[in-house]
Amino acid sequence: MERPIALVYAKSAARELTGMDLIRWTELGKQFHELGHEVHLVTNRPDGIESLAGLPVFDCREANWDHYYAIKGSYQHSVPLLPEHPRLIVRMCRVARPDEPDRDLSRRDEVLAHQKWIANHARFIAVNDPLNASRWRELYGDNQQIIIAPTGCPEVIPAPKQNPFPSESRIALFCGSVTAIRMVPFLNDVARSLAARDSEFELHVLGRNRLHLYSDSPPEFNLDLIHLHEPVSQEEAWQYLHHADVGVAVSPSANRFESELSKIYYYLRAGLPTVCETSALNRDLVEQTGHGIIAGHDDPEQFATAILRAAEMPRNHSSTMELMSNRHSWKSRAETYVTALNEDALREGTA
């Protein structure tokens, strides 16, 4: 085995992978392992689980940090778990500033304190896009090497099987966690517009509602218009994507720096026509594949129109699926990190 790597995450380990955070953690781990590295998943909440996705799970309180050639932490809230280490990588979904984003207001001081620690201790910063990279430079200077590593998708996915939807209606699917207050009233309005135009079209939400993290009294979905599904395993989720007619991606806000939507990678990997807003940072994937429509930000009527138009596009679109597998796989993301580590070692003369 090559140099050992620890992937650190302040997250409860779970036997079923039901969220993108766990999926990203384990998929990258598997790809580092495929590239020849010894990989340990390290967390503060192993919850009795000794392995996950074929990788060993360790309690951070018992970790031998000196064993690892590199340590990668996931998100600002994992900072309290991280040690001092010469090759520390910290990945952030978005870089917070003192004045934004709004949805981090209740914990912004904590996030900024974690970012200051990262700026003083990390060798590498990993972000989704150049926009967040430039924001980091603006706030903290150029002491860190920056790795651009967006969300990925699997090279191989399960084949279509039985339709998991309970009706034969046409389906617009929002798959993933609900993480911004605006998403609920926006989707309610989109569903209302769809129902008025096409009674055979339904809007479904598959995933976890996390709005309690952002508000004491979050808005609620209109259950007369929207069909809610509990989170399912990654394996099961692919069947929802295979059998939906349109994938729906709603931005957290108008700020593009916090609107890299991982669900777009997965919709397109399944060959599913995708509708997103102009505020989506990775809307270029829809443009590159031509397999979807981009609607204006915060315009539910236009968004509903886009869904109806996108529903006329084919599902399981083979060329789109192939492009996503070839260019945006988890393997390619892991290779980005390994390349950064190798280039750093060459500069330091330690390769």
Burial 271-300 (b: 16+ CB within 10 A, else e): bbbbbbbebbbbbebbeebebbbbbebbbb
Sign of the CA dihedral with 14 first, then 19, 25, and 28 last: positive
Global pTM value = 0.91
Residue 161 lies in a domain: no
User: For residue 168, which phi and psi values (nearest 5 degrees)?
Assistant: -95, 10
Task: Answer yes or no: do 95 and 33 share one domain.
Answer: yes
Task: Answer yes or no: do 122 and 197 share one domain.
Answer: no
The CATH number covering residue 224 comes to 3.40.50.2000
Task: Answer yes or no: do 231 and 342 share one domain.
Answer: no
For residue 103, the model assigns a pLDDT of: 64
Sign of the CA dihedral with 337 first, then 339, 345, and 348 last: negative
For residue 105, the model assigns a pLDDT of: 66
Asked if 285 and 279 touch (Cβ cutoff 8 Å), the reply is: no
Q: Which two tokens stand for residue 89?
A: 């990588």
Asked if 311 and 197 touch (Cβ cutoff 8 Å), the reply is: no
Task: Answer yes or no: do 144 and 210 share one domain.
Answer: no
Task: Answer yes or no: do 148 and 179 share one domain.
Answer: no
Residue-wise pLDDT for 31-42, tens only, equals 999 999 999 999
Task: Answer yes or no: do 179 and 320 share one domain.
Answer: yes
User: For residue 64, which phi and psi values (nearest 5 degrees)?
Assistant: -95, 85
Question: How crowded is residue 223: how many other Cβ atoms within 10 Å of its Cβ?
Answer: 9
Residue 92 lies in a domain: yes
Residue 157 lies in a domain: no
Task: Answer yes or no: do 35 and 121 share one domain.
Answer: yes
Asked if 188 and 226 touch (Cβ cutoff 8 Å), the reply is: yes
The residue ranges of DSSP E strands in the chain, in sequence order, are 2-12, 37-45, 51-52, 55-59, 70-74, 88-91, 124-127, 145-148, 170-175, 201-206, 226-229, 246-248, 274-277, 292-295
For residue 348, the model assigns a pLDDT of: 82
Task: Answer yes or no: do 192 and 297 share one domain.
Answer: yes
The per-residue pLDDT string of the chain (351 residues; one tens digit each, 9 = 90 and over) reads 579 999 999 876 665 556 777 888 999 999 999 999 999 999 998 888 899 889 999 999 999 999 999 999 998 889 999 999 999 999 998 898 888 766 666 778 888 999 999 999 999 999 999 999 999 999 999 999 999 999 999 999 999 999 999 888 999 999 998 989 999 999 999 999 999 999 999 999 999 888 877 777 889 999 999 999 998 988 899 999 999 999 999 999 998 878 889 999 999 999 999 999 999 999 999 999 999 999 999 999 999 999 999 999 998 899 999 999 999 999 999 999 999 999 999 988 765
Which residue range forms the structural domain that includes residue 142? 2-152+329-348
Total domains, the chain: 2
For residue 205, the model assigns a pLDDT of: 97
Residue 159 lies in a domain: no
Residue 164 lies in a domain: no
Residue 160 lies in a domain: no
Asked if 293 and 268 touch (Cβ cutoff 8 Å), the reply is: no
Of the candidates 142, 160, 164, 186, which has an alpha carbon nearest to the alpha carbon of residue 299?
186
Cα distance between residue 245 and residue 205, in whole Å: 13
Task: Answer yes or no: do 132 and 268 share one domain.
Answer: no
For residue 18, the model assigns a pLDDT of: 62
Asked if 205 and 227 touch (Cβ cutoff 8 Å), the reply is: yes
Residue-wise pLDDT for 100-153, tens only, equals 766 666 778 888 999 999 999 999 999 999 999 999 999 999 999 999 999 999
Task: Answer yes or no: do 232 and 277 share one domain.
Answer: yes
Cα distance between residue 90 and residue 136, in whole Å: 12
